[in-house]
Amino acid sequence: MRSTYLPIGLALAALVGCAEKKAVDTVVPVTSVTAKSAPAWIDNEEYPDGLAAVGVAQPNPMGDPSFQRTTAVNDGRAKLAAKVKVRVQNMFSALTQQVTKASTDGQKPVKLDVMNRVQENVTRTMTDQELNGSNSIRSWTDPANGNYYVFMVMTKEAMDRALHGVAKNQIDQEIAKGEVSLDKALDKLDAAIAASEPGAH
C-alpha cells in the first residue's frame, strides 16, 4: 500500500526549504548598527579619491581603548587588502589585453604563466607592504554596545604609486631572467593602472 506520509513529508520539506532560502536571501546590514547617530560611512565605503574600508572592533575585556583601536585598524586594513587584490587583478587584466593588442610585430606573446607569476608577486607585495600607506580618517563608537569603527583609506595617488613601483620591479626581474616579451608591458603599465581604477570604464 502506498504511504500517504510521503507527500506530506515532501510538502513539509519544501516549506522548510523555502523558509531557509528566504532567510539566506534576507539582506543584513554590513554592520547591523541601529543607532540613529551612526555616520553615513559606516555602511558606505565609497571614497571618491581612492580605496576605503571600515574596520570594527568590539570592546575588549581589559577595557583598553588603545587595543580596541588597533584591532579595528587591523580589521580595516585586512578588508582594504582584499580590495587591493581585486585592483591588482583588474590592472593585470587590462595590462594583458593591452600587451596582446600591441604585439603585432611578430614578437612572442607574453606567456600566461609568467604573467600569472608576476601578478601573484605584485599582489603579495602590495598586501604585505603598501597597506602601511593607509590611514584612518574617521572613527566612531557605537553608544549601544561600545563597538569602535574606523574608516581606513588609501589615496589614489598612493595606490597608483605603489602599483607602478611594485609591478615595474617584478616585470624588470622577469625581463632580467630572459622574458623579453614583457618589454611592452612596461610601456603599457601606466595605462593599465589607469584602466583598473575604481569606476573606470
- In DSSP notation, 90-134 reads HHHHHHHHHHHHH--SSPPPPPHHHHHHHHHHHHHHHHHHGGGG-
The 8-class DSSP code of residue 57 comes to E
- What is the model's pLDDT at position 110? 74
Q: Which domain range does residue 36 map to? A: 31-195
Is the pTM higher than 0.85? The answer reads: no
Question: Per residue in 94-145, pLDDT tens?
Answer: 998 888 776 665 566 678 888 899 999 999 998 877 676 788 999 999 998 9
201 inside domain: no
Asked whether residue 201 carries a pLDDT value surpassing 80, the answer given is no
Which of 86, 83, 85 minimizes the C-alpha distance to 47?
83
Is residue 92 a part of any domain in this protein? yes
Is there a domain that residue 147 lies in? yes
What is the arithmetic mean of pLDDT over 48-70?
92
**Residue at 19 is within a domain:** no
Domain annotation covers residue 187: yes
The pLDDT, as a whole number, for residue 130 is 63
- Selected residue with higher pLDDT from 188 and 11: 188
Residue 91's alpha-carbon distances to 119, 143, 190, in angstroms, are 9, 41, 10
Cα 99 to Cα 197: distance, rounded to the nearest angstrom: 18
Does residue 13 lie in a domain region?
no
Can you give the CATH number for the domain in which 96 is found? 3.10.129
What is the structure's pLDDT at 91?
92
Dist. CA 104–CA 144, nearest whole Å: 63
Q: Find the mean pLDDT for residues 164-177.
A: 94
Determine the pLDDT at residue 98: 84
pLDDT, residue 71, reads 95
pLDDT higher than threshold 80 for residue 17: no
* pLDDT score of 5: 45
In a domain, 21, yes or no: no
Q: Does a structural domain hold residue 9?
A: no
Residue scoring higher pLDDT (91 or 200)? 91
Cβ of 159: how many Cβ atoms within 10 Å?
Answer: 25
Number of domains into which the chain is organized? 1
**Which one is predicted more confidently, 146 or 113?**
146
